[in-house]
Structure 1
């Protein structure tokens, strides 16, 4: 069994406020390419673990859901850092989160309490790291004001203790490469 944590920027950190933004297409294309490559030659269960944050995490769920019919060994777990995650979001964002929750294979929170303190987020990161074999992180050092930097630092610290944990970093340059590949695929 393989398990991957896909996470990264929120839609707000990327400045994406519309699901039809072409950048969403490229991000989903990137995730789809990676998952398709990982799933092509195996019938072994492959779990995608991610949170419910709007942005990379929800787009990862959407991309994976599109692949499940072709790859039934792909399973999706939406792990939230605390109970009632997203309950203070705007109604349309809450609706989108609940719609995705209803379609994935497993939903749970790593803390059985509502948000209390940042320690819950650190516990969430630790849970995700200890329950996955690798991570795909959409992050760029150029955006160091992003909260994703804490996840990046947590992964690095975990790799120092667990040297076989693999990190696939998707930065802005790599996303540009995928955008060019996507354009070539459309042209062919």
Structure 2
């Protein structure tokens, strides 16, 4: 049974999303919600993110919404201290809002950014501490989630570890479903 699930995926800029109002965010969050609810109903207790912009923060917002209905907790394990230091004000505000609602926050390396090795350590640590991974990921567009997916696949080959994917096809299905169910389209 899955008790602790890591969530990762593309950063917003990798998806060409630069505005908080971008309608793609709605569909991505809906896909995350659709994947999380059955896992929570089966006993998932924790969702863990590293706090990256994009998919991870959108997943955190979904978990914060789900906490109103389900006994699920949000953990944030940043790769290093002050990861938001160079972010714009809007992103910092979103991050601070999420941090204020998280159930657990820690930094894996306990130091500010020094080198990319800290990101590798983050991927290894989060996969080591979780029972599964939910990734918004497409093999044809590797991007930043590739490295955590790779760590998860290594663990899956050695022991009972679950990997769930949200693909661009899944997002497209949600878009089509909403358009089909929207009476203004008829």
Alignment TM-score, normalising by the size of structure 1: 0.89
Match of 1:15 in 2: 16
**Superposition pairs for residues 4-153 of structure 1, below 5 Å?**
4-40=5-41, 42=42, 44=43, 46-71=45-70, 73-144=71-142, 146-153=143-150
- Confirm or deny that 1:168 pairs with 2:164: yes
Measured after TM superposition, the shift of residue 65 of structure 1 is 0.7
Q: Deviations over 1:32-61 (max 9, x none)?
A: 112222223x5x561000121110000000
Give unmatched runs, 5+ long, in structure 1. Answer: none
Q: Residue 54 of structure 1: SS of its match in structure 2?
A: coil
User: What is the SS of the residue equivalent to 1:84?
Assistant: coil
Question: Structure 2 stretches of 5 or more lacking a match?
Answer: none
Maintained 8 Å contact 2:50/2:77: yes
Is the partner of 1:143 in helix, strand or coil? Answer: coil
- Shift of residue 132 of structure 1? 0.8
After superposition, the C-alpha distances for 1:94-132 in whole angstroms (9 at most, x for unaligned) are 222111101111111111011112221111111111111
Question: Cα–Cα, structure 1 residues 66 and 90, in superposed 2: closer, same or farther, change >3 Å?
Answer: same
Q: Is the 8 A contact 2:124 2:148 kept in 1?
A: no
Q: Which of 173, 177, 183 does residue 181 from structure 1 map onto?
A: 177
Task: Point out the more displaced range, 153-162 or 98-107.
Answer: 153-162
Cα pair distance change 1:184/1:76, threshold 3 Å:
farther
Question: Over aligned residues, Cα RMSD in angstroms?
Answer: 1.7
CA positional deviation for 1:85 = 1.2
Deviation at 1:153, TM superposition (A): 1.8
Partner of 2:37: helix, strand, or coil? helix
Pair 59,167 (structure 1): closer, same or farther in 2 beyond 3 Å? same
Contact 2:32–2:166 (CA<8 Å) still a contact in 1? no
For the 8 Å contact 1:29–1:182, the answer to whether it is kept is no
Q: Does 1:158 align with 2:151?
A: no
Aligned residues: 182
